[in-house]
Structure 1
C-alpha cells in the first residue's frame, strides 16, 4: 500500500503562481493551461500572503485566495471584510482536510488584522457552514416576456425629463465607480469594487482567457444631467419562422441609485426593437422589476438562491456598525467551534445607536456564529431559524425580539460575484 505524503499548506510565492493557477483552473473544471497574458492579468490580484496553496511535493493540489473588501452594513456603514475566493481542492486530494487548514489560516490572519467579517459566494451550499459562514443575502434572476409585460410599445424616453444614452467602456470606467459608490453607501450587503473590476468588465484586462466581446452600455441621466443609473447588457440574434424576432437581451449588471433610474433602465431594455425576452442578471429578491411592469407575471423567476455568505469575526463591532429601526435588548450566546468569536454578548440597540459588550448574564438566544452571519444583514429570521432547530431560545420570545431588532424593511443585496 502506498503511503500518502505530507501535504504542505502555505502562502504561495511568485515562482509558484503559475502552478497555483493551473490547479485553480483544474478545480473549476476549466482547461488547466493558463495563457501568458491571462496569467499576467491574474498576477495583478496577487497579494503576498493572501493566496494559499496546498502542495503535494512540488505540485499544487488546492487553492485559496482572500483579499481586502468592504461590505455595507445596515444603515450604510462600510465594514472591513476578508473576502474569500478561488477555493479549490483537486479531485485526487479530497477529504484530507486541506480546505479546513487553509480556511483556519486565513480566518486567523483576518481576525489578527482586525477584519470584522469574512465573506464569500458559495459554489456549494453544504461546505461553508462548518467554518462559521451563514447565507446573508439572496439572489434572484428574472426572465421578462416583453410582449406580455404590457408596457407602452411607443415608449421612446423617460417621462421624468431624464434621458438614456449609450456609452462605451471608457465612459463606464469614468462614470461607473462613483455611481457604484453611491449605490454601495445605501445598499446593505453591497461590496466594494476595485479598479481591476471595472477593467475586467470593460475588456481592458482579460482574466479568464475567453475572447472579449464588448457588451452594450447605457446610462440614465436625470433631468439635471446627473448620472443615476447604468447597465451593461448583451443581445443575441435569433429569428423564428415567418421572420418573427426571438431575440434576448441579457443584463450583465445594472446599477440604479434612484427608483426613476431603475424604472427608466428596465423600460429601455424592454423597448429595444426585436427583443422579446429580457434576462435580468443577479438582482435582489425584492427588486422593483416585476412591480414596474403592468403585468408582473411577465417576469418569471428563473433562479433564486443564496448569494453572499457572511462569517462574523468581531461580534461587538459587527453589531454596533449597523443601525436599528426599533429599540430593544437581548443576550446572545454565540457558539463558535473555531474559538474566534465564542462568547456571550449583551446587545442594546435603538435608532440612536447600539452597544454590544461581553456579559455573564443568562443567555436569551443561543446560536452558532454561522446563524449570526445569516441574521446580521437583516434578511434571515430568528423565528424561522428557531423553528428549524438552528437557534435555541433560552427565554420565551427571544427570537421575536431579535427579529424586531435585526430585520430590515428592504432586503439586503450583493450585486457582485467574487
Structure 2
C-alpha cells in the first residue's frame, strides 16, 4: 500500500520513533532525535553530514542475543553486512565468529588480532592469493563453491603443508520469497553447487579424494531478508538427503551443518522481524528432526547473521538542501547524500523509514520523496513517505535501519566522498571509520 493510499496521518505520527525500526537507545529529547544519548544536532555539528551513526549498545546487545539463543551452536557474523576494525573488536568481546568473503575482509579481521580459527572464508571466485592468505592465516573453515576451487585449494594446501577444514556450498533449489538479487539457493545463479544436478555430490567425491582437504560439512544460504523458517526447513531436509548419500556412498558422517543467514529486519511500519530465540529454537528443532528422520546424528549447527546484528542499530543522518513541490504529485526533498551512501533503494527497491530528526513538528503531513544529489533520476533513498509541511533547508533527516549494507556498498559516484561512521554510546560519539575527503579521491591518480 502506497503512503497516499493509507489512512491519513496526524502530525504527531511524524514524530513517533517506532522501537522495532529505530536503534534500541533512540528517543526524542526536546523534539530532537537522540541515539546512544547523543543529540543528532551535535553529531551533525561535530562530524558533518551525511553521516553513518552506529548505536554500539544496540549492536552489542544483538550480538549477545545471538550468542545466548544459539548457545551450543556456532554464530558467525556475516562481515559483508558492515565490517571495520571496531566491529571486529566487538565480535571478539562478545564471543562470535566471523564470515569473510575476500582477502580484504580477512585483512580487517587479522589486523586487530581476531582469532583466525573463528573465521570462515566464503566467495564464489576465490583467487589463489586469497586462498593462500586464508591457509597461511589458519582460518577455521573454507566454504568451497566450485570444482575449480576444489582443485585450486587442494594444490595450494599440498604446497603449503596445510589441511584445511572445508564445507561444500550447496544450492538446494529453495526459492526464497525475497528480491531476485538476494535469493541465492535456486539453481540458476552463480553461487554454490547444485544438489539437483548432482554437482554437490560430485564436489564431495572430489574433496574426499584429496587427503590434503578435510571435509567437515555442508553449507547452504537461501537468501536475504527472510522472516520465517519455512525455507530453512526445506533446505535442511534436502541437505539431509545429501548427508545420507555421503554416508551410504563413502561411509562418512559429516559433523557440521551451516544453514547460513539472511534473517530479515523491520524497515517500515508493518514489517515483521523474527524473534532471535524463536528462530534459534526453530532451526535447532528443524535440524534435529530432519536428521532423526534420516537416521543421522545431529550435526553441529552454524548460522551466519549479518543484517539482524548491525542493521537496526544504524541510522544515516542527512541535511536537507532543497525542497521542490511537484504540484498534484509529491514534494521532492533533496539531501546532501544519496545513492553513493545508500544504493539499496536503486539496486533492490529497498524501503526505509525516515523522519525529521533535528526537531519535532506539529505541521500537517506532506507526501514526500527523499532523493539524493546525484545525476540520476533513480537516486532515491525513500520513495514515498510523509514529512512535516514546514520542512525547511537546513533541517536534519534521519533514515533508520541503515547499519547493514549501506556503508559496505558505498561508492564515489559523481566523486562524492564516502561518509564517516560514528559509534555512539553513553552520550559520547567517536569516529570508527574516517570519512573520505576530496584529496582521498584524487590520491592514486597520475
With structure 2 as the length reference, what TM-score do the two structures score?
0.26
With structure 1 as the length reference, what TM-score do the two structures score?
0.27
| Greater strand share, structure number | 1
Higher relative contact order (CA 8 A, sep 6+): 2
